[in-house]
Amino acid sequence: MIRKASTIGILLMLSACNLPFSTAPGSEAEATAVPTEPAEPIEVTQAGPQATPEVGESITEPLGAAIVHFEPGQQFLVTNIQMVNQNLGWSIGGLEGASDHVLRTGDGGSTWRDVTPPEPAPSETEAGQSAVGYFLDSQVGWVTYYRASTEPSPGRLRVWSTQDGGENWTASQPVDLEFLGTTDYPPALGFEDAESGWLLAANGPSGMHRYPVYLLRTVDGGRNWEIAIDPFTGGLQSCHKSGIVFADRLTGWATVAECPISAPELSVTSDGGRTWESVPLPPPDKRPTLFETELCEGHSPQLLSPTEGALGVRCSTGLLLNYFYRTDDGGKTWQSTLYPGGTLWLSGPRTALALGQKIYQTEDGGQTWEWIKTVQWDGQFSFVNDQVGWAVARSGDAIALVTTIDGAINWHLLKPTVAP
């Protein structure tokens, strides 16, 4: 259970008036107080020499000079964070807003080891590149790169995998794609277990409510990837994919947005993503005509099991309403309730956080929501339980890494630094 504010000791908070954002490492902004009861840190050992790629047999082309690791003591900006527990986790980040380095922490995010895979660095004439990663635990993870460009350019998809916390990386069999993603629509990567995973990649510019994509699947830990759907024969080609999640190797959900229809739809697959069925969501009981008059879109799909999950629905026209939809029978029936809005994070069948500039929690399956905190930044959040979490906080061009140990009531600034 998330504790209420009245039970928490006095901690230095990050608020609208004192959040010391830093637009670049080494700024003069002072760090706020660290948690008063910090978790026991795990020793961070010094990174060894940059790893030589263990390349799959099918890769014959030279990979070129790899991205250079940061020097010890270098401060950097975290642009995405995925924590495993209160000490161990991963981040993607770089300098001046870049997202090309992969790092690992053992002390809750204060110091990091640069474990970037040996991806070839772009030449001076090429667009910059950004990393996308998914990390199953403290040892196992996957990373791929895409060009930070809005223009289509043929690319060779390569997914790096590690089984030892980034000490060594293995390159997958390459897959030639016409397009891999843009700064506005980056690829999405996820795994259900150590062997089975998926990658969703954009295929060129969108238009007329068409957002062409590739969906790739792997069943051997990322060594080989197979195209499950393509822009020419597969599903998921209409509307922007606002979220995608798999419960296991077969069952997945995808929410869509920017559609010409007013009723929100959930796309469901039961064969690993090869085929998708559009499932219209029923209107709320108290507003049976809502979808006839308002444009409503789904987001934040969450699956606790193949049959149990939830998602958010945002109605963005006249009424500006948000609904929390949940099912325990695979989407045959739904329960819907009003909620304050924001990205959803489910910690159990009846407990969830609504994450945005206003943070709320529910402990009764969405029937009621309790206000926790108001912040003046947008965040990419990573929680490991209902008390401990992190956020990549953004306000305009400013970016900072913050953490909480009391269920989002108080947030503390971290200054990510490469370990000596």
Look at the chain and count its residues: 420
Q: What is the pLDDT of residue 22?
A: 40
| 8 Å CB contact between 145 and 155 | no
Residue 70: domain span? 5-291+370-418
Write out the chain's pLDDT in tens, 420 residues: 433 333 222 222 333 333 333 434 433 333 333 333 333 333 333 334 444 444 443 444 456 688 999 999 999 999 999 999 999 999 999 998 789 999 999 999 999 999 999 998 877 666 678 999 999 999 999 999 987 666 655 567 899 999 999 999 999 998 887 666 666 678 899 999 999 999 998 776 555 556 788 899 999 999 999 999 988 777 787 777 888 999 999 999 999 877 766 678 899 999 999 999 988 899 999 999 998 888 889 999 999 999 999 999 998 777 789 999 999 999 999 999 999 999 999 988 899 999 999 999 999 999 999 999 999 999 999 999 989 999 999 999 899 999 999 999 999 999 999 999
Is 46 within a domain? yes
Identify residue 8 by its one-letter amino acid code.
I
Which residues contact residue 16 at a Cβ distance below 8 angstroms, ignoring those fewer than 6 apart? 374, 375, 376
Q: What is the pLDDT of residue 42?
A: 30
Q: What is the pLDDT of residue 92?
A: 97
Is 344 within a domain? no
Is 269 within a domain? yes
Is 304 within a domain? no
**Concatenated DSSP letters for 337-396?**
EE---SEEEESSSS-EEEESSEEEEESSTTS--EEEEE-SSEEEEEESSSS-EEEEEEET
Q: What is the pLDDT of residue 400?
A: 96
Phi, psi of 6 (to 5 degrees): -70, -15
- Tokens 């990663």 belong to 133
Nearest to 144 by CA among 153, 155, 84: 155
Is 231 within a domain? yes
Nearest to 407 by CA among 354, 337, 342: 354
Separation between Cα atoms, residue 107 and residue 87, nearest integer Å: 5
Q: Total structural domains in the chain? A: 1
Is 79 within a domain? yes
Is 400 within a domain? yes
Is 341 within a domain? no
